Structure 1
Amino acid sequence: MTTLRSLLSSLLLATGVLGLAACGDDSTARVTVKLTDAPGDNFEKAVVTITKVYLKGSEDVVLLDEPVTVNLLTLANDAADLVKDAEVPQGTYRELRFVISGGYIQVNEDGQRRIYATSPNYAGLPEGTQADGELHMPSASSSGLKVKFDKDADVTITSEDTQKVILVDFDVAQSFGRAAGNSGRWVMGPVIKGADLQFSGNVKATLALGTGVQLPGGDTPLELSAFSAVLINADGSRETLPFSASPDGLFVANFKFLLPGTYQVDVVAPAGVSFTTAPSHPASATIGSGAETAVNFTLTSVSR
């Protein structure tokens, strides 16, 4: 999965607890919007400038109106504060929308690095960089991009909530694609999903050696840390994390800030290594509201 995550400004915080706290006025509450990203294969950068975030209701409520430029790929398996403690009147809001003024992607195409930008003069391009082609963002800078909530649920804000944070997942792999025909353009058709942060969960994948199973030795002995876990969402976006040793002796890959749903969890090995696992891989994992789901793989054979 290549999905937005370094401290970028007072609005962007790579880690931390986000909350919705009632403020002094009983008719309002404070809202935080936390941004995460599901990544995409072959993408090296996906940079956007967000100029406005607002809630649509009987009256629109602006949560952010200062430009923030962010590389979405830095947020894989992480999250950042895009809006922090914005004061919002109580009520029911039909939509959360993002206005994006521009951006660029850097992709690997047939072994070559290419950049596609909304404009040759887009301010987010690194100094001296020339774009190889155009990135088209229809409607992104006018009415804004709608965040899709499960079952098209409304966003309800009350002053009685002690914690209510909106987690927004910008799926890079599903949001950018080549334009039809031979124009050479790329188009952004965003897939942006949202949920209350309290409903998000995580997948903890572990890897261990089975009884009697030994890793191949030789000049370059194979280690469990050479294996990686891959999380695949329902849209096919993939996120890869290496297994790291934990204090209890297991090797763990922990995928965080996941919206509820069913995912596939796979295990990959270095080139030239064959292996089997129990359970067999990939395995299915269903994320419930605010829960951790464990997928425990045991290597039953390894060779190279």
Structure 2
Amino acid sequence: MAGTSPAAILIREASMKRSILLLPLAALALAACGDSGTSANGPARVSIRLHDAPGDLKEAWVRVEQVSLQGTSSADSTSGKVVLMDTPTGWLSLTQLTGGNFATLVNDAQVPAGTYSQLRFVVCDAYVVTQSGAVYATQGTALPAGVTATGTLQVPSGCQSGLKVKLPGGGVTLESGASVMAVDFDVSQSFGHQAGASGKWVMHPVMTATSLTFSATISGTVSPAAGVTLPTCGGAVVPISQFVPRAVAGVDSISGAVQPGGTYSMTVAPNTYAMTYAPAYSFTNGDSLTVAATPSPATATVASAGSATVNYSITSATCKPHA
């Protein structure tokens, strides 16, 4: 198997269904498990989207502790678990990620080329709110302020081996290319009353990976406008790489890294993005920098496997020295 490549994961929604999108999961292509297990050196990205259908729940919230891929055989160098993310997220609402909204889970993780049979989410904390207002939560969970559990929610294996996502064809082979994987998360079938008279609710997630499409790229340049000079701040002249371009769709903001030469590139899921930037920066010596910039164009629409160019012109940059 050849090398490793970066990955990123997002959460989002499509059409009438709520979803979690995992965006660029690997810089390696995604193919059916029956395809060749050989790998290529070219970069790739894969995004993963979770959808759900309306059910009896008013709200459903989870905290993801870890996201990982699992290989298929001991003969495969990727047969062990490859951890993509192990920093717990905040509370993620499965019922509010609507209208194309998404939030980043993993960004630029390294994934070896190879064949993978499983995608897993470790979920230790979760709670649901029924239409009647009752709250069922996993035991010991620190709930948000103002939320009080009235019953127990069980998530079997969620905090141990993790929740399994069914992959197309029983598995995927990561090679060169770029892909977006859609994963159906059916909330209406994933939560229900526990059998018997315990009154508990139980979470048995129904998650199935479905379609594959290609991810997209937004790139461009960042440069000062005519007559604008980047100031000294934080003890040195501010480099152009300090600037942070952002692509915003719904609740999510994807940031790009500017190279010393003033170029940037970010991998995104197909969508329409408002192009913004980070307006303020702080330095360890207490200085603060404020910038204003104009993106051209102000929005970028990228289709599957598409690309868009957005150039930024910095119109002002002001340093406020520490007191």
Instruction: Give TM-score scaled by structure 2 length.
Output: 0.50
Distance 2:62 2:127 in 1: 7
Quote the residue 1:38 is aligned against: 52
Matches within 5 A, 1:1-304: 12=10, 14=12, 18-19=23-24, 21=27, 29=43, 31-57=45-71, 58-68=79-89, 69-76=91-98, 78=100, 80=102, 81-108=104-131, 112-119=132-139, 121-123=140-142, 125-152=143-170, 154-158=171-175, 160-161=176-177, 163-198=178-213
Deviation at 1:165, TM superposition (A): 2.5
- Indicate the percent of aligned positions where both proteins have the same amino acid: 39
AA matched with 2:190: S
Deviation at 1:199, TM superposition (A): 8.5
2:153 counterpart SS class: strand
Distance 1:67 1:61 in 2: 16
Distance 2:46 2:180 in 1: 5
Quote the residue 1:268 is aligned against: none
Structure 2: 5+ residue stretches without partners: 1-7, 14-20, 30-38, 72-78, 216-269, 271-303, 305-323
Query: Could you give the per-residue CA deviations for residues 160-216 of structure 1, whole angstroms, max 9, x where no partner exists?
Result: 21x12333222111100000111100000110111354199xxxxxxxxxxxxxxxx
Distance 2:22 2:138 in 1: 34
Aligned residues: 184
1:13–1:100 Cα change, 3 Å: closer
2:188 counterpart SS class: helix
Quote the residue 1:223 is aligned against: none
Structure 1: 5+ residue stretches without partners: 1-9, 201-256, 258-289, 291-304
Distance 1:180 1:28 in 2: 51
AA matched with 1:175: S
1:74 counterpart SS class: coil
Distance 1:192 1:137 in 2: 14
Query: Could you give the per-residue CA deviations for residues 36-80 of structure 1, whole angstroms, max 9, x where no partner exists?
Result: 321332311100111111110112211111111301112245363
1:31 and 1:85 in contact (8 A); partners too: no
AA matched with 2:136: Y
1:169–1:78 Cα change, 3 Å: farther
Aligned-CA RMSD value: 3.3
AA matched with 2:127: Y
